[in-house]
Structure 1
Amino acid sequence: MEKRKTLSKDEVLSFSNDIFKNFQGYFQLKPGDKVHLFIPIDKFKEVKTEFFIDYCLQNAIRVFVPKVLGEHLISVEIFENTAFETNHWGISEPVSSIDSGVLDFDYVLTPLLYCDSAGNRVGYGKGFYDAFFENISSTSKKIGVNYFNPEDMIDDVREEDIPLDYLVTPTEVLSFLGLK
């Protein structure tokens, strides 16, 4: 979090664009794919996912975003005209609370503070994404996006923590699949 705080708005935008380009080049999205991604929290300088959303919507790729209902994360499909509102945490979410019911995403992009070289991620501590990962198809690619490369091993990994399959940074795409 401290490293992220030092980034300027221009750096966040530039690095986010580089992350998108690396993702797009590596994963080769195609019409009909189902991509679940987060809406960034600007005050936390999260990776800007607007590049992903715009590209997907313009290329017939289905886009889903999270919405927190109580203690659960649901997946709402969005379109060009989807209305959004800001929740009590300051996160932009669709006004609709209709869960898409989709579990077989092709790609799930997840926010994170950092991850280690085994794909273990550290988020914000609420466990929403671990619970979400537990319920989606095992074939869905779980992808972290971050400005920085993996850190040292995370030593407090819990049994219920589900590691990432990939990490996309401004400079590379790392696979953790061979480590599982």
Structure 2
Amino acid sequence: MLKAELRKKYMQKRKALSTDEAFLLSKNIFENFITYFKPREGEKVHVFIPILERKEIDTQIFINYFLERKIRVFVPKIVAGQLINIEIFTYTVFETSNWGISEPVSNEDSGETFFHYVITPLLYCDAKGNRVGYGKGFYDGFFESVSAEVKKIGVNYFNPDENIDDVWENDIPLDYLVTPVDVLSFGRGLE
């Protein structure tokens, strides 16, 4: 299927989930992530802040876990059309952006280019790790700017049942996909 078709289909499937279903599935995704990757104190994780109205995976569960265990947390923020990385702490002040995303008030880019894990938002991912997001291309640009050693991990409610027919040469695939029932690797072993 084409990205536009998959985007529409999986936005509808996500929209059909109840708030309780989305939260329970998010918890299962979180548990699979923790069990598989076993993040440790001092490691650096880049994780998106969810738009809960769009029923995105509730990554606040991840963020709370990381901060409690002294795992360094970085979140994205779009400033002047670019995705920057802001390190957050328990005392970080947030505001809601025009897109309905809770973001740190600060616009100070951390300058980090290495993360142990980048937890990536998406609407769909195929069996080769190709992603369908909202179509803005922020994460492809971001992936080009970080270390090649970064583990790019998608999180999704749905398994990869269909191929993406219009993958572009600049699209950067994921290394892993975490779903409520599984962790899929796309050819890169856990190191």
- Bin the TM-score by the shorter chain: over 0.9
- Seq. identity, %: 63
* Residue 20 of structure 1 pairs with residue 24 of structure 2: no
Return the match for 2:54 from 35, 39, 44.
44
Counterpart residue type for residue 175 of structure 2: D
RMSD across aligned C-alpha pairs, in angstroms?
0.7
Q: Deviations over 1:21-55 (max 9, x none)?
A: 00000001111100000000112100000111111
Counterpart residue type for residue 160 of structure 1: N
CA displacement at 1:92 relative to structure 2? 1.1
Question: Contact 1:114–1:151 (CA<8 Å) still a contact in 2?
Answer: no
Give the secondary structure class of the aligned counterpart of 1:177.
Answer: coil
Counterpart residue type for residue 59 of structure 1: R
Aligned pairs (5 A) from 1:1-180: 1-177=11-187
Question: Contact 1:144–1:166 (CA<8 Å) still a contact in 2?
Answer: yes
CA displacement at 1:151 relative to structure 2? 3.0
Counterpart residue type for residue 177 of structure 1: G
Structure 1 spans left out of the alignment, 5+ residues = none
Give the secondary structure class of the aligned counterpart of 2:41.
Answer: coil
Give the secondary structure class of the aligned counterpart of 1:104.
Answer: coil
Size of the aligned set, in residue pairs, is 178
- What TM-score, normalized to structure 1? 0.97
- CA distance in 1 between counterparts of 2:187 and 2:75 reads 24
CA displacement at 1:7 relative to structure 2? 0.4
Counterpart residue type for residue 121 of structure 2: P
Q: After the TM superposition, list the runs of 4 or more consecutive aligned residues in structure 1 that deviate by more than 6 angstroms.
A: none
Question: Contact 1:107–1:143 (CA<8 Å) still a contact in 2?
Answer: yes
- What TM-score, normalized to structure 2? 0.92
